[in-house]
Structures are given as C-alpha cells and as structure tokens.
Amino acid sequence: METKRDTFSGKLGFVFAAAGSAVGLGNLWRFPYLAAKYGGGIFILVYLILAVTLGFTLMITEIAIGRKTGLSAAGAFQKLDKRFGFVGALGCVVPFIITPYYCVIGGWVVKYLVTFITGQVGQAAADSYFGDFIAKPAEPVIWFAIYVILTAAVVIIGVQKGIEKASTILMPILVVLILVICGFCVTRPGAMEGVKYYLLPDFSAFSATTILAAMGQLFYSMSLAMGIMITYGSYMKKDTDLRGSVRQIELFDTLVAFLAGLMIVPSVFVFSGGSEEALNKGPSLMFVTLPKVFESMKLGGIIGAAFFILVLFAALTSSISLLETNVSMVCDKLHWSRKKATVIVAVYILVLGAIVSLGFGPLDFVKILGLGLLDFFDFLSNSVLMPIVALLTCICIGYFVKPKAICDEVEINKPFKEKKFYIFMLKYAAPVCLVLILIFAVSEAMGWIKV
C-alpha cells in the first residue's frame, strides 16, 4: 500500500467504489452463461440463497477486517493473528491468476466495441465471427494488449477519483441500458420460453455442480477471497454504516447479474431455439448471441456500441482494482515505486495473458486437467484457491480471533441485526460448505466423479 491511507468520502463513495470493482465481466459475461448452462432458474435460486448467506457473511468479514486493522490483506491477517499471516499472502496470489485472463476477455470487449462503432453489425452477428476471431494468433493478442495498457495507464496515473466519479454516473446508465435491452429481448417472439427457463427453477436440474458453480461465481462476482474487500474496508471511515453498505453492494451486484442473464438467456431461445448446445456455449455466449440481438434491433448498431462501451467500463473498473491489488502487493514487498511495479506487473500480465489468448488458437491443444487455458485458470482461482482462502478466513476469525472482533467493528455505529446468524454462518455453515465445495471441485477435476 501507498504510505498515506486515503478514506472514501462516505458511505456512497465506498459503495460505488466497491460496486465498481464487483460489477464487471463476472456479472455481464460470466453469470449469464453459467445460468444458461446450469439449468436457469435453479441456478438463480441457489445463487440468491448463497448471496444473502455466505456472500453476506464473507463480505462483512473482509470489510470489517480491513477497517479494523487499517491494512490491506497481507498485513491485516498478520496483525490479527501471526499464525494466519499466510492467508493474506495466499489471497494475494489469486489476483495474479485472474488478472491476465480477465484482460484477455477485456480485449474481446474492445474488439466488439470497435466492430460496432465501425458499423460492422452484420459481420459481428454471423455465427462464426467470434470463433474465427479468438482463434487468430495475433489479433486477439493485440486487443488484449491495448486493454492491458488502458488498465495500467489508469493505475499509473492513479486517477482513482475520476474512476470513482465516473462509476457513479456510468453504473446507473448501465442499469438503464440493460433494462432497455432486456425489455426488447423478452418481448421477442419465442423469448417467453427462455424467460421461463431463466426464472422458474427446475429442481430436477439441481446437482452439486449447480452449487459449486454458483459459489465460484459468488466469490468472483463480489470480488471476495482475494484481499480486495479487505483493502477497500481499510479505506472505509469508522462512521460509515458497514452492514448497510454490504447489503447495498450485494444488491447492486446481484441485480446487474440478474438483468444481464434476463437479457441474454431468452435471446438464446429466440435465436437458437434454446438448444442444449446453444445454452452450453459458455464464455462465448455474450459475444455470439448478443450481436444477433443487436442486429435485429432498429438502432442496433448504436445500442450495441453503447452496450459494449458500458461493458468495457464495467470491466475496466474491475481490472483496475485487480491490478491495483497486484501493484500494491509488489510495492509493499519489494519497495518499488508505483510506476516501476505497475510496468513490471503489466509485462507479467501481457506474457501470461498472451498465452491464455493463444489457447483458443495455436495453443488449443494445450489442456490442463482436460481444460483449456482460460478455463483452467478460472477453475484454479474460483474453485480451488478462493474457497481455501475463504475457509481459512472463517477459521481464523471464527476460532482464533473470535467473531466478536468483527461484530464489534460492525456495531460501531449501527446495530448488527443478523449477529447470531452471522456467527453461526461463520463458525459452522460456511466452513462446511467450503470444505464440501473444495472436495467436489477437486474430485470433478481429477475425473473421480462425472457430472
């Protein structure tokens, strides 16, 4: 961390900054394709239950740890209990895994934005456009590099205030735009089928994988278990309502994800008849299906361009918070200047990200545990490392530091209504869930169980 410790202006500043980090590609790109793949309504239901229980517990814990210690993750655990210092370090590894592949997808967004701005809506809507694009050796890497440079430039200049301000204006616009596009999508002939699939839980589609996928998504979407919320908590003023802020961040984050799914999943039904194959498209869903929606709209070119500008902005505020975490870690450990650290971390991201990007083209024969490179890094961070960090956080606070420390911090200015429930979640329910998830994730990856 930098030597001087800024604080957010107040509750709203905090909520928007944290929401800027939380609302990103995870909401707009990842949530819809997971919901499509894992049975629609049942996935949403599981996700919502997890968000208000597990997500709430973990986010309160992380933000309170940050505010109580006034330190970012690496130092915060050390200060709370020396034996748990390694948890902070482990949490800091996660953004180093996520940032490169996050920026690869950021590059795809830039490419689509340019495609729409230059009026090539028809091409973008063609079936093979996306597949052909990511399989190219050089082009996706160039867009990815542009995206990394954009992110790094902001981190070097440190225009956090500008970003914060912009997110207070652009995030609400994003919501309005999603609502408009949603309205259009769900009123297309044939879309109702998709709306039903998305909203009505089909309990026969429920499996342990649904929980695993929803839980991984929860960590990812709320920027949990990687030190970000601890760092942000350390910038939070003592008189800001902690519990209320967490509720608002969660609500905003979940709402954007929900709407993004409501926009994309019914579109799959309109344009591909809701076939299993189309629903299982995974990562490419946003880039394949949405352009078709835009093409069929009157002002599709302009709306598409506006949409991808906002996706880009949502992605940038998130990747900036990711890079910021990496950089502050390196500055802390190696005492480099901010500029030097940013440049060197950016070079690392460029190298690893380029390899991930090539994983869709020349390197597509490279499979780790049967997964392509991007999927592998996604799996490693979301299904393995983040549950481990979250589990250790629960054990550290629940049994060593004791939940009282967190409750006291929350209660500094407002009553902690769910205190009993929180303590139960932290000490018992969350650790059990996390252990099950870990066992399941590893078993699945090793091929011990089939889903």
The dihedral region occupied by 406, where left means phi > 0, alpha psi between -120 and 50, and beta the remainder, is: alpha
Tally: H helices and E strands in the chain: 24, 0
Please count the CA atoms within 13 angstroms of the CA of 385 that sit on its side-chain side: 24
Which of 226, 265, 341, 389 touches ligand PFF by CB under 6 A? 226
Q: Using the minimum distance from each CB to ligand PFF, give the nearer residue, 105 or 288.
A: 105
Give me the phi and psi of 368, to 5 degrees please: -115, 125
Q: Does position 210 bind ligand PFF by CB under 6 A?
A: no
Q: Does position 18 bind ligand PFF by CB under 6 A?
A: no
Q: Does position 57 bind ligand PFF by CB under 6 A?
A: no
Stretch of 174-182, 288-296, 318-326, 419-427 contacting ligand PFF, by CB under 6 A: 318-326
Question: Least CB distance from residue 226 to ligand PFF, whole Å?
Answer: 5
Which of 61, 318, 326, 342 touches ligand PFF by CB under 6 A? 318
Q: What is the amino acid identity at position 312?
A: L
Residues comprising the chain, all counted: 451
Contact assessment for residue 225 and residue 91, using Cβ atoms and an 8 Å cutoff: yes
Binding mask 321-340 for ligand PFF (x = CB under 6 A): xx------------------
DSSP-derived 3-state class of residue 278? helix
Q: Does position 26 bind ligand PFF by CB under 6 A?
A: yes
Which of 33, 220, 232, 307 touches ligand PFF by CB under 6 A? 220
Say how many C-beta atoms besides its own lie within 10 A of residue 178's C-beta.
21
Q: Does position 151 bind ligand PFF by CB under 6 A?
A: no
Q: Using the minimum distance from each CB to ligand PFF, give the nearer residue, 218 or 288.
A: 218
Beta bridge partners of 368: 371
Contact assessment for residue 163 and residue 24, using Cβ atoms and an 8 Å cutoff: no
Residue listed under structure tokens 């933000």:
63
Q: Identify which of 76, 439, 28 has the alpha carbon closest to the alpha carbon of residue 221.
A: 28
Question: Least CB distance from residue 273 to ligand PFF, whole Å?
Answer: 29
Return the residue nearest ligand PFF (CB atom).
26
Q: What is the amino acid identity at position 294?
A: F
Q: Does position 72 bind ligand PFF by CB under 6 A?
A: no
Q: Does position 24 bind ligand PFF by CB under 6 A?
A: yes
**Residues contributing to the site for ligand PFF (CB under 6 A):** 21-22, 24-27, 95, 98, 220-221, 223, 226, 228, 318, 321-322
